[in-house]
Amino acid sequence: PASRPTEGTPDLANTVADLQVVGAEPDLQQLILSRVQTKLGGVTSRKQLEQDVATILGTGFFANAQFSTRNLPTGVGVVFQVE
């Protein structure tokens, strides 16, 4: 089983250098981007991304949502995948 950080473990914050939503029509992509706390050029963390996924699911438009990240020279790239 994968270990999960315990309370008090620092959650590293990264600058968002790229932010995408895949699996949704353009109008729903804009809805997602307007609701999540993670913003292009802002700072995010794993905890924040998990909260954003909960926010996306809370819209009721999607049965599944997840995120992936990748390291970029200027920060982190974030992709929200929705179904």
What pLDDT does 49 receive?
A: 97
What pLDDT does 61 receive?
A: 96
pTM of the predicted structure, to 2 decimals: 0.85
Contacts of 55 (CB under 8 A, 6+ apart): 35, 36, 37
For the stretch 5-29, pLDDT in tens is 444 444 678 999 999 999 999 999 9
Lowest mean pLDDT, pick from 1-10, 21-30, 60-69: 1-10
